[in-house]
Structure 1
């Protein structure tokens, strides 16, 4: 598994456009899992999980970590292709926010803040760098702890009266 992958291919953006695929990527973030395990964990049908995993696999966002023969069939253990996915295309953030919105609405919010503030372009870059440093420095607490989602963005709002 790579440490970091920059999302750049249109097929990858399309694959990330569905909230269940985000949930799947989070579910296999630290430990590989089978279609059956993912279906149970996410309370979904195996066929639905298999379809979405195929989309992620085709977009090279997941890979097969291990395969084994079970009752005459082959069972694959999937893992993310990279520990961390980065999005350097400015058009990526709205795609991510739309895809994560359903999961955020259904989950338990621990904390968050939305604020607009006047900054220079340099200050905005400094804040962005500080957020990235904080997020990149977080260490995974291990398999026996709960998972949390983290979304952080700095953006320049559209001027009033434009669409």
Structure 2
């Protein structure tokens, strides 16, 4: 199934789905499947897992409805399955006040696992914005990410873009003021 036939978004709503996406290995498997279908063997190679582990994690993602089989073929009497994401993007629920943000935990883990010496751009800016500016900046960041997602070529190396625009809690502002 070409990616243009996929639904735009799959909203994570069940505990099973949340458990599935909360695991870093499954997050990395979904990243492999983001642009093109892959077999268990291909997934295992790209993520650095044993085929059995890869199969286990893919089954959990499939059971949760996050990935699906998009084609099969016979190879020496064995049916080879190609898996792909069930939607173009996965929308996670708001973690709630004080709750861990799964996406950010995975992004930090991926950043820490990136090759030493590889080019990367990481920064943080503390801003003071009106609500209108805050909303505009959020929309511009989303649009920029979508623009580059459309330019993505599966033959090129992966690159991850993570951004978070938020109002820090009172504790974070108190620490900032104490400096």
Could you tell me the TM-score, scaled by structure 1's length?
A: 0.87
User: How far apart, in 2, do the equivalents of 1:150 and 1:136 lie?
Assistant: 11
Q: Is the 8 A contact 1:21 1:56 kept in 2?
A: yes
Q: Give the equivalent residue in structure 2 for 1:130.
A: 140
Larger RCO of the pair (alpha carbons < 8 Å, separation 6+) = 1
Counterpart position of 1:101: 108
Aligned counterparts, 1:3-82, within 5 A:
3-82=8-87
Aligned residues: 161
C-alpha contact (below 8 Å) 1:13/1:95 kept by paired residues: no
Which TM-score applies when normalising by structure 2? 0.80
Structure with bigger helix share is 2
Counterpart of 2:31 in 1: which secondary structure?
helix
Larger radius of gyration, structure 1 or 2? 2
User: Are the structure 2 counterparts of residues 67 and 13 from structure 1 closer, same or farther at C-alpha, using a change threshold of 3 Å?
Assistant: same
In structure 2, distance between residues paired with 1:10 and 1:136: 28
Cα RMSD for the two superposed structures = 2.1
Gaps of at least 5 residues in structure 2 are 1-5, 175-179
Post-superposition offset of 1:109: 5.2
Q: Which residue of 1 aligns with 2:153?
A: 142
Contact between 1:22 and 1:100, CA under 8 Å: does it hold in 2?
no
Q: Residue 90 of structure 2 aligns to a residue in which SS?
A: strand
Work out the CA distance in 1 between the residues paired with 2:37 and 2:19: 23
| Alpha-carbon distance in 2 for matches of 1:145, 1:78 | 20
3-state SS of paired residue (1:63): strand
CA shift for structure 1 position 70: 2.5
